[in-house]
Amino acid sequence: MSGGVLFWVQHLLGSGHLRRTAAIAHATAALGVRCVVASGGLPLSNLDLGEARLVQLPPLRAADAGFRAMVDGEGRPADDALMARRRAMLEALVAEEAPAVVVTETFPFGRRSLRAEVLALLDAAGRLGRPPLVVASVRDILQRESRPDRIATMIETAQQRYDAVLVHGDPALVRLDVSFPAAALLGERVIHTGYVADTRKALRAADAAGRDEVIVSVGGGLVGRNLLQAAAAARPLSRLTAGRTWRLLLGEAGLAEGIDQAPGLAIEPNRADFAFLLANCAVSVSQAGYNTATDLFVAGARAVLVPYGAEGETEQGERAQIMAEHGLAVVLTEDRLDPAALAAAVDRALELPPPPAATIDLSGAPTSARLLAGWAAHG
């Protein structure tokens, strides 16, 4: 068997990397291309791959929000034996599939701790009788890197090992070189595809779920407790939310600790109809991850963004600021987060007109799929 597209993806903290890759693989498989997704993170429920096939590697996740170490699915430190099993699985998968295109999500612009694994994958692909085209798949904004040696390694790897870099964002909103100036050195390899979003989410729910509520969400990751706790205490302080429900959606069950039920609060796990809640809500309160941003673009919801900025993280802060500059959100930084400040931010968002009519390119999945299918056909 040969041809098709092989995706490698590793989510370490949140689930956005895998869900974005799954959406692209789904769209590519729908064009009749054989697609396999090799996922190295914890398994996710309700992952929609369409006709694409999932291969689950022995899972890894970040030990903490600082990404200083990786642990396995049971929380044990990742050892050499685990990493060797993962590499062996990937090399066998390459031999079995003989892909025409290999896609690595984030790498070489991140996932530095897994460099040996990805290079082993690419080396195995290079040994095929007909080596595949190699593509990097990255989000709109990269984590800023201050060390010149690391930037040089990223560029050198991209120049020597990669044929294209798909950037899943709208250059009219933000170009890759805003967060990664060295991208200019990659020239025509860099292709902006538009945001990867499920535009079917634009439909309103018939039962008006979330109508006029304040929806507080922290995605599917392991961080967000401070935001949830501040929101639980903020509702009575808001001037404009009397009588409105504040619905707190928990990314992880443990995030509910320290949050008490109170009149006007609804506290529950993440919901399958989240997109409808956003479309119907008065205000969304959330962090500023990629998937959250695309959901907001589709829903056209007023938004308060509290970008995750711990451990030197810059990506969410930059995205939130860009959205604020375009009238798409009110931003409250984590260092200013408290109940009174959050209530005031929600009040400001409620007083604003609805976000401008969506002019943001949300065609990232079908555009990426067309490119990958074309390359696979001529590989």
Does residue 356 lie in a domain region?
no
> Would you state the pLDDT for residue 82?
95
> Would you state the pLDDT for residue 65?
67
Same domain? For 182 and 221 the reply is: no
Same domain? For 216 and 175 the reply is: no
Does residue 374 lie in a domain region?
yes
Same domain? For 272 and 191 the reply is: no
Q: What is the 3-state secondary structure (H, E, C) of 121-147?
A: HHHHHHCCCCCCEEEEEEECCCCCCCC
Same domain? For 70 and 127 the reply is: yes
Are the beta carbons of 314 and 251 closer than 8 angstroms?
A: no
Same domain? For 153 and 211 the reply is: no
**Which amino acid type is present at position 134?**
V
Q: Which domain holds residue 274?
A: 200-351
Same domain? For 115 and 212 the reply is: no
Count of structural domains, the chain: 2
Does residue 180 lie in a domain region?
yes
Taking the C-alpha atoms of residue 289 and residue 218, their distance in angstroms, rounded to an integer, is 9
> Would you state the pLDDT for residue 174?
96
Does residue 17 lie in a domain region?
yes
Beta bridge partners of 134: 102
Does residue 83 lie in a domain region?
yes
Q: Report the chain (379 residues): mean pLDDT per 10 consecutive residues.
A: 88 88 97 97 90 96 78 90 96 97 97 96 97 97 93 98 98 96 97 91 61 88 80 93 91 64 88 87 95 91 92 90 94 96 97 81 97 92
Same domain? For 184 and 237 the reply is: no
Same domain? For 96 and 231 the reply is: no
> Would you state the pLDDT for residue 139?
97
> Would you state the pLDDT for residue 256?
61
Taking the C-alpha atoms of residue 16 and residue 171, their distance in angstroms, rounded to an integer, is 20
Same domain? For 153 and 250 the reply is: no
Does residue 217 lie in a domain region?
yes
* CATH number of residue 283's parent domain: 3.40.50.2000
Same domain? For 191 and 241 the reply is: no
Burial 171-190 (b: 16+ CB within 10 A, else e): bebbbbebbbebbebbeebb
Does residue 357 lie in a domain region?
no
Same domain? For 219 and 167 the reply is: no
Same domain? For 167 and 212 the reply is: no
